[in-house]
Structure 1
Protein backbone atom coordinates (compact mmCIF):
# COMPACT_ATOMS: atom_id res chain seq x y z
CA UNK A 1 0.00 0.00 0.00
CA UNK A 2 1.53 3.38 -0.92
CA UNK A 3 2.09 5.54 2.12
CA UNK A 4 0.43 8.97 2.20
CA UNK A 5 2.48 12.11 2.41
CA UNK A 6 2.49 14.35 5.50
CA UNK A 7 -0.55 16.60 5.69
CA UNK A 8 -1.08 20.30 5.81
CA UNK A 9 -1.06 22.07 9.16
CA UNK A 10 -3.98 24.34 8.29
CA UNK A 11 -7.28 24.09 10.14
CA UNK A 12 -10.07 22.32 8.23
CA UNK A 13 -13.73 21.65 8.92
CA UNK A 14 -14.68 18.10 9.88
CA UNK A 15 -17.81 16.22 10.90
CA UNK A 16 -18.34 13.58 13.56
CA UNK A 17 -19.82 10.63 11.66
CA UNK A 18 -19.60 7.89 14.28
CA UNK A 19 -18.46 7.00 17.77
CA UNK A 20 -18.17 4.14 20.24
CA UNK A 21 -17.29 3.76 23.90
CA UNK A 22 -14.09 1.77 24.42
CA UNK A 23 -14.16 1.70 28.24
CA UNK A 24 -15.97 4.01 30.69
CA UNK A 25 -14.69 7.54 30.15
CA UNK A 26 -12.96 6.72 26.88
CA UNK A 27 -14.59 7.26 23.50
CA UNK A 28 -13.48 6.70 19.92
CA UNK A 29 -14.61 9.40 17.51
CA UNK A 30 -14.97 8.72 13.79
CA UNK A 31 -14.30 11.98 11.94
CA UNK A 32 -14.66 12.82 8.27
CA UNK A 33 -13.29 15.76 6.31
CA UNK A 34 -12.92 16.22 2.58
CA UNK A 35 -9.83 18.34 3.19
CA UNK A 36 -7.97 16.00 5.54
CA UNK A 37 -4.75 14.51 4.18
CA UNK A 38 -4.42 10.75 4.86
CA UNK A 39 -2.11 10.08 7.79
CA UNK A 40 0.80 7.82 8.64
CA UNK A 41 0.54 5.32 11.51
CA UNK A 42 1.50 7.08 14.74
CA UNK A 43 0.66 10.65 13.73
CA UNK A 44 -1.68 12.94 15.63
CA UNK A 45 -4.14 15.76 14.97
CA UNK A 46 -5.13 18.93 16.78
CA UNK A 47 -8.79 19.47 17.63
CA UNK A 48 -10.02 23.03 18.25
CA UNK A 49 -13.25 24.02 19.97
CA UNK A 50 -14.67 27.55 19.84
CA UNK A 51 -17.19 28.85 22.39
CA UNK A 52 -19.99 31.28 21.55
CA UNK A 53 -17.98 34.14 23.07
CA UNK A 54 -15.05 33.37 20.76
CA UNK A 55 -12.88 31.60 23.34
CA UNK A 56 -10.95 28.71 21.81
CA UNK A 57 -9.28 25.64 23.26
CA UNK A 58 -7.30 23.02 21.39
CA UNK A 59 -5.65 19.72 22.22
CA UNK A 60 -3.65 17.10 20.35
CA UNK A 61 -4.98 13.56 19.95
CA UNK A 62 -3.27 10.56 18.43
CA UNK A 63 -4.88 8.83 15.49
CA UNK A 64 -6.15 5.32 16.22
CA UNK A 65 -7.11 4.34 12.68
CA UNK A 66 -4.74 2.65 10.22
CA UNK A 67 -2.59 4.74 7.91
CA UNK A 68 -4.51 6.35 5.10
CA UNK A 69 -7.94 5.81 6.66
CA UNK A 70 -10.77 8.16 5.73
CA UNK A 71 -12.82 8.77 7.81
CA UNK A 72 -10.18 8.71 10.53
CA UNK A 73 -10.47 7.86 14.22
CA UNK A 74 -9.16 9.30 17.46
CA UNK A 75 -9.68 7.84 20.92
CA UNK A 76 -10.17 10.35 23.73
CA UNK A 77 -9.75 9.70 27.45
CA UNK A 78 -11.83 12.06 29.60
CA UNK A 79 -9.77 14.14 32.03
CA UNK A 80 -11.93 15.53 34.88
CA UNK A 81 -10.49 19.06 34.73
CA UNK A 82 -9.93 19.14 30.98
CA UNK A 83 -11.26 21.82 28.65
CA UNK A 84 -11.64 19.69 25.53
CA UNK A 85 -11.76 15.99 26.46
CA UNK A 86 -15.00 16.12 28.54
CA UNK A 87 -16.85 17.62 25.58
CA UNK A 88 -15.41 15.10 23.13
CA UNK A 89 -16.28 12.17 25.39
CA UNK A 90 -19.67 13.31 26.71
CA UNK A 91 -20.93 16.22 24.61
CA UNK A 92 -20.19 16.10 20.90
CA UNK A 93 -22.88 14.34 18.86
CA UNK A 94 -23.06 12.68 15.46
CA UNK A 95 -23.29 15.36 12.80
CA UNK A 96 -21.55 18.04 14.87
CA UNK A 97 -18.78 20.05 13.25
CA UNK A 98 -15.20 20.13 14.53
CA UNK A 99 -12.05 21.97 13.51
CA UNK A 100 -9.09 19.70 12.81
CA UNK A 101 -5.44 20.34 11.96
CA UNK A 102 -3.05 17.67 10.78
CA UNK A 103 -1.86 15.03 10.46
CA UNK A 104 1.22 16.08 12.43
CA UNK A 105 4.50 14.36 13.30
CA UNK A 106 7.04 12.33 11.35
CA UNK A 107 9.26 10.94 14.13
CA UNK A 108 6.82 8.66 15.96
CA UNK A 109 5.58 6.74 12.91
CA UNK A 110 5.72 3.15 11.68
CA UNK A 111 5.77 2.17 8.02
CA UNK A 112 5.13 -1.28 6.50
CA UNK A 113 8.56 -1.21 4.84
CA UNK A 114 10.09 -1.70 8.30
CA UNK A 115 10.95 -5.40 8.50
CA UNK A 116 12.72 -5.36 11.88
CA UNK A 117 10.92 -6.62 15.02
CA UNK A 118 8.80 -3.96 16.71
CA UNK A 119 8.28 -3.55 20.45
CA UNK A 120 5.35 -1.31 21.38
CA UNK A 121 5.10 -0.13 25.00
CA UNK A 122 1.96 1.69 26.13
CA UNK A 123 0.95 3.31 29.39
CA UNK A 124 -2.84 3.73 29.64
CA UNK A 125 -4.29 5.69 26.73
CA UNK A 126 -0.79 5.81 25.25
CA UNK A 127 -1.94 2.68 23.43
CA UNK A 128 -3.82 4.84 20.90
CA UNK A 129 -1.04 5.65 18.38
CA UNK A 130 0.35 2.15 18.84
CA UNK A 131 -3.07 0.79 17.86
CA UNK A 132 -2.78 2.78 14.64
CA UNK A 133 0.51 1.00 13.96
CA UNK A 134 -0.98 -2.41 14.78
CA UNK A 135 -3.98 -1.82 12.52
CA UNK A 136 -1.70 -0.60 9.74
CA UNK A 137 0.47 -3.71 10.07
CA UNK A 138 -2.63 -5.90 9.96
CA UNK A 139 -4.00 -4.16 6.87
CA UNK A 140 -0.67 -4.18 5.02
CA UNK A 141 0.12 -7.84 5.83
CA UNK A 142 3.80 -6.97 5.64
CA UNK A 143 6.45 -5.81 8.09
CA UNK A 144 8.20 -7.24 11.12
CA UNK A 145 6.75 -9.04 14.12
CA UNK A 146 5.06 -6.90 16.78
CA UNK A 147 5.03 -7.23 20.56
CA UNK A 148 2.77 -4.96 22.59
CA UNK A 149 3.48 -4.41 26.29
CA UNK A 150 0.36 -2.67 27.54
CA UNK A 151 0.45 -1.25 31.07
CA UNK A 152 -3.02 -0.42 32.37
CA UNK A 153 -4.53 0.00 35.82
CA UNK A 154 -7.13 -2.77 35.74
CA UNK A 155 -9.14 -4.93 33.31
CA UNK A 156 -11.91 -2.32 33.20
CA UNK A 157 -9.41 0.13 31.69
CA UNK A 158 -8.21 -2.23 28.95
CA UNK A 159 -8.75 -0.03 25.87
CA UNK A 160 -9.25 -2.05 22.64
CA UNK A 161 -9.14 -5.17 24.80
CA UNK A 162 -11.24 -7.51 22.68
CA UNK A 163 -9.61 -6.48 19.41
CA UNK A 164 -6.12 -6.93 20.83
CA UNK A 165 -6.88 -10.29 22.42
CA UNK A 166 -8.42 -11.56 19.19
CA UNK A 167 -5.39 -10.44 17.21
CA UNK A 168 -3.07 -12.08 19.75
CA UNK A 169 -4.92 -15.36 19.28
CA UNK A 170 -5.11 -15.26 15.49
CA UNK A 171 -2.09 -13.36 14.10
CA UNK A 172 1.29 -15.09 14.12
CA UNK A 173 3.09 -11.73 13.87
CA UNK A 174 1.49 -10.19 16.98
CA UNK A 175 1.98 -10.89 20.70
CA UNK A 176 0.12 -9.10 23.49
CA UNK A 177 1.40 -8.74 27.06
CA UNK A 178 -1.05 -6.97 29.38
CA UNK A 179 0.55 -5.62 32.56
CA UNK A 180 -1.82 -4.47 35.29
CA UNK A 181 -0.67 -1.88 37.81
CA UNK A 182 -3.50 -1.71 40.39
CA UNK A 183 -5.77 -4.71 40.03
CA UNK A 184 -5.03 -7.86 38.06
CA UNK A 185 -7.41 -10.73 37.27
CA UNK A 186 -7.03 -13.76 39.58
CA UNK A 187 -5.62 -15.75 36.65
CA UNK A 188 -2.73 -13.29 36.16
CA UNK A 189 0.36 -14.86 37.73
CA UNK A 190 2.33 -11.61 37.47
CA UNK A 191 -0.03 -9.75 39.77
CA UNK A 192 -0.49 -6.00 39.85
CA UNK A 193 2.57 -3.75 39.88
CA UNK A 194 4.18 -1.14 37.71
CA UNK A 195 6.05 -2.13 34.59
CA UNK A 196 9.69 -2.68 35.58
CA UNK A 197 13.06 -3.74 34.20
CA UNK A 198 12.24 -7.43 34.61
CA UNK A 199 9.12 -7.02 32.48
CA UNK A 200 11.08 -5.24 29.77
CA UNK A 201 13.86 -7.83 29.84
CA UNK A 202 11.44 -10.76 29.69
CA UNK A 203 8.86 -9.45 27.23
CA UNK A 204 10.43 -6.95 24.82
CA UNK A 205 12.57 -8.03 21.89
CA UNK A 206 16.20 -8.27 23.03
CA UNK A 207 18.66 -5.52 22.03
CA UNK A 208 20.64 -7.87 19.80
CA UNK A 209 17.54 -8.43 17.63
CA UNK A 210 17.70 -4.84 16.36
CA UNK A 211 14.14 -4.05 17.34
CA UNK A 212 12.63 -0.62 16.89
CA UNK A 213 10.77 0.43 20.03
CA UNK A 214 7.85 2.84 20.35
CA UNK A 215 6.89 4.06 23.84
CA UNK A 216 3.81 6.19 24.53
CA UNK A 217 2.14 7.26 27.76
CA UNK A 218 2.33 9.80 30.58
CA UNK A 219 5.65 11.64 30.79
CA UNK A 220 6.98 9.88 33.95
CA UNK A 221 6.11 6.46 32.50
CA UNK A 222 7.83 7.19 29.20
CA UNK A 223 10.96 8.59 30.82
CA UNK A 224 11.41 5.59 33.13
CA UNK A 225 10.80 3.08 30.34
CA UNK A 226 13.13 4.82 27.88
CA UNK A 227 15.92 5.13 30.45
CA UNK A 228 15.57 1.47 31.42
CA UNK A 229 15.66 0.32 27.81
CA UNK A 230 18.88 2.19 27.19
CA UNK A 231 20.44 0.80 30.37
CA UNK A 232 19.58 -2.65 29.02
CA UNK A 233 21.60 -1.95 25.87
CA UNK A 234 18.96 -0.88 23.36
CA UNK A 235 20.16 1.55 20.70
CA UNK A 236 18.87 5.04 21.67
CA UNK A 237 18.32 5.81 17.98
CA UNK A 238 15.80 2.98 17.83
CA UNK A 239 13.79 4.06 20.90
CA UNK A 240 11.08 6.50 19.86
CA UNK A 241 8.89 8.16 22.45
CA UNK A 242 5.63 10.09 22.57
CA UNK A 243 4.42 11.52 25.86
CA UNK A 244 1.45 13.46 27.14
CA UNK A 245 0.77 15.59 30.18
CA UNK A 246 -2.28 16.19 32.34
CA UNK A 247 -4.03 18.82 30.21
CA UNK A 248 -7.13 17.72 28.35
Structure 2
Protein backbone atom coordinates (compact mmCIF):
# COMPACT_ATOMS: atom_id res chain seq x y z
CA UNK A 1 0.00 0.00 0.00
CA UNK A 2 2.82 2.36 0.89
CA UNK A 3 4.36 1.90 -2.57
CA UNK A 4 1.16 3.21 -4.14
CA UNK A 5 0.99 6.28 -1.91
CA UNK A 6 4.68 7.30 -2.09
CA UNK A 7 4.64 8.46 -5.77
CA UNK A 8 1.59 10.62 -5.07
CA UNK A 9 3.32 12.21 -2.07
CA UNK A 10 6.43 12.94 -4.13
CA UNK A 11 4.37 14.42 -6.95
CA UNK A 12 2.51 16.60 -4.45
CA UNK A 13 5.77 17.95 -2.92
CA UNK A 14 7.36 18.60 -6.31
CA UNK A 15 4.39 20.68 -7.39
CA UNK A 16 5.33 23.28 -4.77
CA UNK A 17 9.05 23.48 -5.56
CA UNK A 18 8.97 25.83 -8.58
CA UNK A 19 6.76 28.32 -6.75
CA UNK A 20 9.16 28.46 -3.81
CA UNK A 21 12.11 29.00 -6.16
CA UNK A 22 10.25 31.73 -8.00
CA UNK A 23 9.43 33.45 -4.73
CA UNK A 24 13.10 33.49 -3.74
CA UNK A 25 14.04 34.94 -7.12
CA UNK A 26 11.35 37.58 -6.81
CA UNK A 27 12.65 38.63 -3.40
CA UNK A 28 16.22 38.81 -4.70
CA UNK A 29 15.39 40.83 -7.82
CA UNK A 30 12.48 43.03 -6.73
CA UNK A 31 14.03 46.53 -6.40
CA UNK A 32 11.71 47.42 -3.54
CA UNK A 33 12.72 44.32 -1.58
CA UNK A 34 16.42 44.90 -2.26
CA UNK A 35 16.15 48.54 -1.14
CA UNK A 36 14.34 47.44 1.99
CA UNK A 37 17.09 44.94 2.80
CA UNK A 38 19.78 47.59 2.30
CA UNK A 39 17.90 49.96 4.61
CA UNK A 40 17.56 47.26 7.23
CA UNK A 41 21.25 46.46 6.95
CA UNK A 42 22.23 50.13 7.37
CA UNK A 43 19.87 50.57 10.31
CA UNK A 44 21.32 47.47 11.96
CA UNK A 45 24.87 48.70 11.38
CA UNK A 46 24.12 52.11 12.88
CA UNK A 47 22.38 50.55 15.87
CA UNK A 48 25.38 48.29 16.45
CA UNK A 49 27.76 51.27 16.38
CA UNK A 50 25.48 53.23 18.72
CA UNK A 51 25.18 50.39 21.22
CA UNK A 52 28.94 49.84 21.25
CA UNK A 53 29.89 53.50 21.81
CA UNK A 54 32.49 54.06 24.49
CA UNK A 55 30.97 57.07 26.27
CA UNK A 56 34.31 57.90 27.90
CA UNK A 57 32.38 59.34 30.87
CA UNK A 58 30.38 61.67 28.59
CA UNK A 59 26.69 61.67 27.75
CA UNK A 60 25.83 60.10 24.40
CA UNK A 61 23.74 61.71 21.63
CA UNK A 62 20.10 60.75 21.13
CA UNK A 63 19.60 57.80 18.79
CA UNK A 64 17.49 59.75 16.30
CA UNK A 65 20.20 62.38 15.91
CA UNK A 66 22.97 59.77 15.75
CA UNK A 67 21.12 57.71 13.12
CA UNK A 68 20.82 60.65 10.74
CA UNK A 69 24.41 61.67 11.35
CA UNK A 70 25.66 58.20 10.47
CA UNK A 71 23.49 57.93 7.35
CA UNK A 72 25.15 61.04 5.97
CA UNK A 73 28.59 59.99 7.17
CA UNK A 74 28.44 56.70 5.26
CA UNK A 75 27.14 58.44 2.13
CA UNK A 76 29.92 61.05 2.22
CA UNK A 77 32.53 58.41 2.99
CA UNK A 78 31.41 56.34 0.02
CA UNK A 79 31.54 59.36 -2.29
CA UNK A 80 35.09 60.20 -1.17
CA UNK A 81 34.12 63.60 0.24
CA UNK A 82 35.49 62.75 3.68
CA UNK A 83 38.71 60.96 4.57
CA UNK A 84 38.74 60.72 8.36
CA UNK A 85 36.70 58.29 10.46
CA UNK A 86 35.83 61.15 12.79
CA UNK A 87 32.35 62.64 13.06
CA UNK A 88 31.25 65.80 14.86
CA UNK A 89 27.56 65.84 15.80
CA UNK A 90 25.72 68.98 16.94
CA UNK A 91 22.17 68.56 18.21
CA UNK A 92 20.34 71.88 17.97
CA UNK A 93 17.14 70.34 19.29
CA UNK A 94 18.77 70.69 22.71
CA UNK A 95 19.04 73.76 24.93
CA UNK A 96 22.21 75.81 24.53
CA UNK A 97 22.77 75.25 28.23
CA UNK A 98 23.49 71.58 27.49
CA UNK A 99 26.55 69.91 26.04
CA UNK A 100 25.15 69.30 22.58
CA UNK A 101 28.32 68.79 20.53
CA UNK A 102 30.07 65.44 20.27
CA UNK A 103 33.29 64.45 18.52
CA UNK A 104 33.39 60.70 17.96
CA UNK A 105 36.25 58.53 16.75
CA UNK A 106 34.48 55.87 14.66
CA UNK A 107 37.59 53.70 14.46
CA UNK A 108 37.46 53.01 18.18
CA UNK A 109 33.78 54.04 18.66
CA UNK A 110 34.90 56.44 21.37
CA UNK A 111 33.48 59.84 22.27
CA UNK A 112 36.48 62.18 22.37
CA UNK A 113 34.74 65.44 23.30
CA UNK A 114 31.32 66.55 24.52
CA UNK A 115 30.84 70.31 24.74
CA UNK A 116 28.46 73.22 24.64
CA UNK A 117 28.26 74.99 21.27
CA UNK A 118 26.67 78.25 20.15
CA UNK A 119 24.06 78.78 17.45
CA UNK A 120 23.34 81.90 15.37
CA UNK A 121 21.89 84.95 17.13
CA UNK A 122 18.89 85.05 14.77
CA UNK A 123 18.27 81.32 15.15
CA UNK A 124 16.82 81.68 18.63
CA UNK A 125 17.58 82.32 22.29
CA UNK A 126 18.14 79.35 24.52
CA UNK A 127 16.94 77.06 21.71
CA UNK A 128 17.70 77.23 18.01
CA UNK A 129 14.45 77.18 16.08
CA UNK A 130 15.12 79.01 12.80
CA UNK A 131 17.80 78.26 10.20
CA UNK A 132 19.05 79.79 6.98
CA UNK A 133 21.58 79.39 4.19
CA UNK A 134 21.40 83.09 3.25
CA UNK A 135 24.09 85.74 3.47
CA UNK A 136 23.83 88.10 6.47
CA UNK A 137 21.05 86.02 8.04
CA UNK A 138 23.04 85.53 11.28
CA UNK A 139 21.38 82.12 11.47
CA UNK A 140 22.83 78.64 11.75
CA UNK A 141 22.52 76.21 8.85
CA UNK A 142 21.60 72.59 9.36
CA UNK A 143 22.98 69.52 7.63
CA UNK A 144 26.28 67.98 6.64
CA UNK A 145 29.63 69.70 6.30
CA UNK A 146 33.15 68.61 5.44
CA UNK A 147 35.84 70.21 7.59
CA UNK A 148 38.43 72.17 5.66
CA UNK A 149 41.65 73.97 6.52
CA UNK A 150 42.53 75.95 9.62
CA UNK A 151 43.53 79.61 9.77
CA UNK A 152 44.23 82.25 12.38
CA UNK A 153 41.48 84.87 12.49
CA UNK A 154 39.96 87.31 14.97
CA UNK A 155 39.02 84.35 17.19
CA UNK A 156 42.45 82.76 16.90
CA UNK A 157 42.64 79.23 15.52
CA UNK A 158 39.54 78.64 13.38
CA UNK A 159 38.33 75.92 11.00
CA UNK A 160 36.67 76.44 7.63
CA UNK A 161 33.60 74.37 6.79
CA UNK A 162 32.20 73.33 3.42
CA UNK A 163 28.45 72.72 3.35
CA UNK A 164 27.51 69.61 1.38
CA UNK A 165 23.80 70.24 0.88
CA UNK A 166 22.70 72.65 -1.82
CA UNK A 167 20.03 75.05 -0.67
CA UNK A 168 20.59 74.05 2.94
CA UNK A 169 24.18 74.96 3.82
CA UNK A 170 26.19 75.27 0.59
CA UNK A 171 26.87 78.97 1.30
CA UNK A 172 28.81 78.18 4.49
CA UNK A 173 32.21 79.15 3.13
CA UNK A 174 30.90 82.27 1.42
CA UNK A 175 29.15 83.26 4.67
CA UNK A 176 32.36 82.61 6.66
CA UNK A 177 30.53 80.04 8.79
CA UNK A 178 33.45 78.41 10.58
CA UNK A 179 34.22 76.59 13.81
CA UNK A 180 36.03 78.84 16.28
CA UNK A 181 36.41 79.50 19.96
CA UNK A 182 34.63 82.41 21.63
CA UNK A 183 34.30 83.91 25.09
CA UNK A 184 30.52 83.95 24.68
CA UNK A 185 30.61 80.18 24.17
CA UNK A 186 32.23 79.51 27.53
CA UNK A 187 29.98 77.67 30.02
CA UNK A 188 30.62 80.37 32.65
CA UNK A 189 28.31 82.74 30.76
CA UNK A 190 25.37 80.50 31.62
CA UNK A 191 25.48 81.76 35.20
CA UNK A 192 25.00 85.38 34.13
CA UNK A 193 22.41 85.15 31.34
CA UNK A 194 20.90 81.67 31.60
CA UNK A 195 21.83 80.52 28.08
CA UNK A 196 24.93 80.36 25.94
CA UNK A 197 26.06 83.37 23.93
CA UNK A 198 25.26 83.32 20.22
CA UNK A 199 27.27 83.70 17.04
CA UNK A 200 26.64 85.07 13.55
CA UNK A 201 25.90 81.54 12.41
CA UNK A 202 29.12 79.78 13.37
CA UNK A 203 29.26 76.72 15.64
CA UNK A 204 31.36 78.49 18.29
CA UNK A 205 32.93 76.42 21.05
CA UNK A 206 34.65 77.17 24.39
CA UNK A 207 38.10 78.74 24.16
CA UNK A 208 39.48 76.05 26.44
CA UNK A 209 38.59 73.29 23.96
CA UNK A 210 39.01 74.98 20.57
CA UNK A 211 42.60 73.88 19.87
CA UNK A 212 41.96 70.27 20.83
CA UNK A 213 38.69 69.95 18.95
CA UNK A 214 39.75 71.83 15.81
CA UNK A 215 43.04 69.94 15.49
CA UNK A 216 41.16 66.65 15.88
CA UNK A 217 38.46 67.27 13.28
CA UNK A 218 40.28 69.39 10.66
CA UNK A 219 41.08 68.01 7.22
CA UNK A 220 38.03 66.34 5.67
CA UNK A 221 36.07 64.89 8.54
CA UNK A 222 32.26 64.96 8.75
CA UNK A 223 30.31 67.52 10.77
CA UNK A 224 26.53 67.25 11.11
CA UNK A 225 24.17 69.84 12.59
CA UNK A 226 20.86 68.24 13.56
CA UNK A 227 17.41 69.58 14.27
CA UNK A 228 14.16 67.60 13.85
CA UNK A 229 13.03 70.03 11.17
CA UNK A 230 10.57 68.54 8.71
CA UNK A 231 11.61 71.00 6.02
CA UNK A 232 15.24 69.87 6.35
CA UNK A 233 14.35 66.19 6.10
CA UNK A 234 12.29 66.86 2.96
CA UNK A 235 15.10 68.84 1.31
CA UNK A 236 18.05 66.68 2.37
CA UNK A 237 19.30 63.91 0.11
CA UNK A 238 21.62 62.50 2.77
CA UNK A 239 19.13 61.42 5.45
CA UNK A 240 16.05 59.22 5.24
- Shorter-chain TM range is under 0.3
TM-score (norm 1): 0.27
Bigger Cα Rg: 2
| Greater strand proportion | 1
| Greater helix proportion | 2
TM-score (norm 2): 0.28
